Amino acid sequence: MDFNFTEEQQLIQESAREFATKIIAPLAGQIDAEDKIPAEILDGMAELGFMGIPFPEKYGGSALGYEYYVLVQEQIARASAGVATLFSVHMLGADAISIFGTEEQKDRYFPDICKGKLHPSFAFTEPETGSDPKQLVTTVTQDGDYAVINGVKRFISAAAYEGPIVVFCKDTEVGGVSAYIVDKLCPGYSLSPAWEKIGGHGSPIYDVYLKDVRVPASNLLGQRGQGFDILLLGIAFGKIGTSTIALGGILAAYEDAIKYAKEKLHRGQPIAKFQAIQLKIGHLAAKYHSTRWMCYRLGTLANDILSRRSSDWRQFEAEAALVKGYASDTAVEAAKLSMDVHASYGLTKDFPIERVYRDAIICPQIEGVSDMQRIIFAGSVLF
């Protein structure tokens, strides 16, 4: 057990912090207002090698472990949850192709994914199902060398960017779920207007309409009927990103509370002198440190799965659920504590906590709501 960063981990954390502070943070209010990420941010992340951080060098990746991804994502999320959400989804779609894709599929997509020219998506939610993907009704049928997909996917992130989207479909011929890689914006692919949501701006979500979308049968990801396994492991990897969006929010809440407590004066003294404020800072510190070590460990568990040091996918899925549920709910608690330090000023757009608070509320509801995460983990120890 070693709780110290290596020199390389420290370097990447510092470079992510510098990029987030100098390039993302000054634009965070604009991203929130416009629901759009300026290209210079995504280009800058790609230049630093972040878009392909855990993927092999032969595909243009940085060949670093998932703990590096967590260190980078934490700092990005500290500056903007919207940018971090897009980054998380980019990795979610890429992870599924990286783990289950053929060499040909990886060669086709990864160089541009790692350069940030393509942003993958991952589509399981539908109007009739979120928490229970076994109920999905999007269909795939075979037509010669082609697979034909029809259905509606709901709340899909990064759906308007070019790139592959992993679509989960009911495959009645084999009696299960199959996953297909579709090129976004292809014929038959269209989008609803972006949903208006409370936070996470910069990463809009859409309904994706798939009408007779034809893809070569070779776009199948994994085996026919294996889609549910791909979905579960893919989402488990996705939870590394979502947990770390929450972690970055907690860090923002914590650091902003410290800053405000030192600046705001009452009778000529900073409010930091009040014990009630000190208690809140103490609670925030505990929330930050407990969550960060859970997230860093989840990154190393992902490495274990991929390097086959562990083959217990189900245990990894349970651990990812545990961390995601905890980190998400803790982000909401931390945002509330920091808001209480700021009091009424925190409700105004003059202070970042107003945005951090709205962003935090997103975390427990996405990629499986928090209660479902606890139920998943409980299942791993009870049955």
Ligand X SMILES: Cc1cc2nc3c(=O)[nH]c(=O)nc-3n(C[C@H](O)[C@H](O)[C@H](O)COP(=O)(O)OP(=O)(O)OC[C@H]3O[C@@H](n4cnc5c(N)ncnc54)[C@H](O)[C@@H]3O)c2cc1C
Q: Which residues are catalytic?
A: 367
Please identify, using beta-carbon distances, which residue of 90 and 280 lies nearer to ligand X: 90
Q: Binding string, 33-72, against ligand X, x = CB under 6 A?
A: ----------------------------------------
CB of 76 to ligand X, least distance (A): 16
**Least spacing, CB of residue 238 vs ligand X, in Å:** 8
Verify binding: residue 207, ligand X, rule CB under 6 A: no
User: Residue 187 or 379: which CB sits closer to ligand X?
Assistant: 379
**Is residue 369 a contact point for ligand X (CB under 6 A)?**
yes
Query: Does residue 328 bind ligand X (CB under 6 A)?
Result: no
The single residue among 11, 107, 371, 379 that binds ligand X, judged by CB under 6 A, is 371
Using DSSP's 3-state secondary structure scheme, residue 16 falls into: helix
**C-alpha pair distances (Å), 95 with each of 56, 92, 361:** 12, 5, 26
Q: Is 297 exposed, middle or buried (0-12, 13-18, 19+ CB in 10 A)?
A: middle
* Nearest approach, Cβ of residue 162 and ligand X (Å): 16
CB nearer ligand X, residue 67 or residue 95? 95
Structure tokens belonging to residue 1: 């057990």
Judged by beta carbon, residue 54 or residue 202, the one nearer ligand X is: 202
Q: What are phi and psi of 61, to 5 degrees?
A: -80, 175
- Closer residue to ligand X (CB): 41 or 89: 89
- 216 dihedral zone (left: phi>0; alpha: psi -120 to 50; beta): beta
- Kindly determine how many residues on this chain lie close enough to bind ligand X according to the rule CB under 6 A: 22
Would you say the C-alpha torsion 186, 228, 221, 216 has a positive or negative sign?
Answer: negative
Binder of ligand X out of 296, 366, 373, 377 (CB under 6 A): 366
* 377 lines the binding site for ligand X (CB under 6 A): no
Q: Does 232 bind ligand X (CB under 6 A)?
A: no
Is 370 in contact with 364 (CB distance < 8 Å)?
A: yes
- Choose one: 12-20, 62-70, 149-157, 328-336; the region binding ligand X (CB under 6 A): 149-157
Q: Would you say 68 and 9 are in contact if contact means Cβ atoms under 8 Å apart?
A: yes
Site for ligand X in 334-363 (CB under 6 A): 362
- Residue 182 touches ligand X, criterion: CB under 6 A: no
Residues 109-128 that bind ligand X (CB under 6 A): 121-125
What single string gives the DSSP state of each residue in 271-325?
GGGSHHHHHHHHHHHHHHHHHHHHHHHHHHHHHHHHTTS---HHHHHHHHHHHHH
CB-nearer residue toward ligand X: 60 or 368: 368
When asked if residue 75 is in the footprint of ligand X (CB under 6 A), the reply is: no
**Cβ distance to ligand X smaller for residue 137 or 343:** 137
189 to each of 112, 133, 157, 378, how far by Cα in Å? 21, 21, 15, 39
83 binds ligand X (CB under 6 A): no
Task: Out of 20, 51, 84, 156, point to the residue binding ligand X (CB under 6 A).
Answer: 156
Q: Alpha-carbon distance 182 to 226, whole Å? A: 17
Let me know: does 194 contact 150? Beta carbons within 8 Å.
Answer: no
Cβ atoms of residues 296 and 244 within 8 Å? no
Tell me: does residue 200 bind ligand X (CB under 6 A): yes
Is the Cβ–Cβ distance between 234 and 88 less than 8 Å? no
Burial grade of 164 (CB within 10 A; 0-12, 13-18, 19 or more): buried
Does 130 interact with ligand X (rule: CB under 6 A)? yes
Q: Is residue 365 part of the contact set for ligand X (CB under 6 A)?
A: yes
Name every residue whose Cβ is closer than 8 Å to that of residue 194 and which is 6 or more positions away in sequence.
35, 160, 204, 205, 206
Tokens 């595909």 label which residue? 59
In the complex with ligand X, the residue whose CB is nearer, 134 or 289, is: 134
Query: Which residue in the set 318, 367, 373, 376 belongs to the binding site for ligand X (CB under 6 A)?
Result: 367
CA distance 210 to 371: 31
Is position 89 an interface residue for ligand X (rule: CB under 6 A)? yes
Q: What residues make contact with ligand X under the rule CB under 6 A? A: 89, 121-125, 130-132, 155-157, 200, 205, 362, 365-369, 371-372
